[in-house]
């Protein structure tokens, strides 16, 4: 199982120095992937809770954000071998043609080190701010992924669907990775899990108990088999939003919360259910200094 670590692209810690030092140190420690996340606003009176926290509160790091793709490009310039991923970009906020070019550019400039993590989004406030349609997000996701793949794998490229149209055209810049960079989807609902099975290279869950992840990943593999795909090719990359405490928490604790020993147990449990990678996010439980982030990186690397 691989180990991934977040780049601090949100909150007060999101500085030039932090991005460079974390990226370089992650490569020294032999982490496999650097990950960024995406938020656009911090709603003062949010319409819906944040699904990634135990009480639904929005993490304070959402208030100050570096663009996830620009951060990966910057990190790519300071590293040589570590992969660079998004966990996740929300599809409704983007145009597939424009996003495909940005992804391709990162893969090209990094010599084939991109990992594409995508989701449907959950914030009604961000949907309104970007003009996205909350109710139509699932219906458009299939076509969005098909447009990405058409741009990346076809020459000439063309796509005509109900939502998106790509006229027959030449787009000569293609990703270094063939047939395209790996695509991971954050998914919880049955329809979204089915989309992983049909169109993605893997699943990017977060906040789900180990037993639940095992059952859902088994379901994804079953749907992949029904769709004529080899389920063995699908990966599970677990996003671990950490909340580390000095003392162990009780049995009702959420996954990746508690003492370092409990975090280590959770990582081992993910390995046992077939996870390909655990991606540690040290900054979601509150403000953290850069030195503390670097120290956590050393501690967590030994868990995988």
Per-residue pLDDT tens over the stretch 78-136: 999 999 999 999 999 999 999 999 999 999 999 999 999 999 999 999 999 999 999 99
φ, ψ (nearest 5 deg) of residue 240: -105, 95
What are 65's strand-pairing partners?
10
Superfamily of domain 2-193+204-210+236-267+278-301: Luciferase-like domain (3.20.20.30)
Supply the pLDDT for residue 55.
78
Nearest to 296 by CA among 6, 62, 72: 6
In the chain, which residues have pLDDT < 50? none
For the chain, what are the domain ranges? Answer: 2-193+204-210+236-267+278-301
Q: Give the contacts of 39 (CB within 8 A, at least 6 positions apart).
A: 10, 62, 65, 126
Residue 72 has a pLDDT of 98
Q: What is the model's pTM?
A: 0.96
3-state DSSP of 74-92: HHHHCCCCCEEEECCEEHH
Closest among 120, 240, 103 to 185, alpha carbons compared:
120
Dist. CA 28–CA 12, nearest whole Å:
24
Distance separating alpha carbons of residues 2 and 134, to the nearest angstrom:
34
How much is the pLDDT for 59?
A: 87
């Amino acid at each position: 199982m691989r180990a991934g670590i977040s780049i601090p692209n949100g909150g007060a810690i999101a500085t030039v120095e932090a991005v460079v030092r974390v990226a370089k140190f992650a490569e020294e420690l032999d982490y496999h992937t650097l990950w960024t996340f995406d938020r656009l606003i911090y709603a003062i009176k949010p319409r819906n809770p944040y699904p990634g926290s135990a009480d639904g509160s929005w993490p304070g790091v959402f208030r100050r954000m570096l663009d996830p793709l620009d951060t990966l490009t910057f990190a790519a310039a300071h590293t040589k071998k570590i992969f660079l991923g998004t966990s996740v970009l929300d599809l409704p906020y983007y145009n597939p043609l424009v996003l495909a070019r940005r992804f391709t550019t990162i893969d090209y400039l990094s010599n084939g080190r991109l990992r594409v993590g995508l989701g449907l989004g959950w914030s009604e406030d961000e949907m309104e701010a970007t003009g996205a349609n909350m109710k139509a997000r699932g219906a458009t996701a299939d076509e969005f992924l098909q447009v990405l793949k058409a741009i990346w794998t076809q020459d000439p490229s063309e796509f005509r669907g109900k939502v998106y149209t790509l006229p027959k055209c030449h787009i000569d810049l293609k990703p270094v990775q063939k047939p395209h960079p790996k695509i991971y989807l954050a998914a919880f609902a049955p329809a979204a899990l089915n989309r992983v099975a049909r169109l993605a290279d893997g699943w990017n869950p977060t906040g789900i108990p180990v037993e639940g992840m095992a059952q859902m990943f088994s379901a994804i593999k079953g749907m992949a088999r029904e769709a004529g795909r080899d389920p063995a090719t699908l990966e599970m990359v677990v996003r671990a939003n950490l909340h580390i405490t000095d003392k162990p928490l009780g049995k009702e604790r959420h996954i990746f919360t508690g003492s370092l020993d409990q975090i280590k147990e959770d990582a081992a449990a993910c390995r046992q259910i077939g996870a390909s990678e655990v991606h540690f996010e040290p900054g979601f439980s509150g403000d953290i200094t850069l030195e503390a982030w670097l120290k956590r990186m050393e501690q967590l690397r030994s868990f995988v």
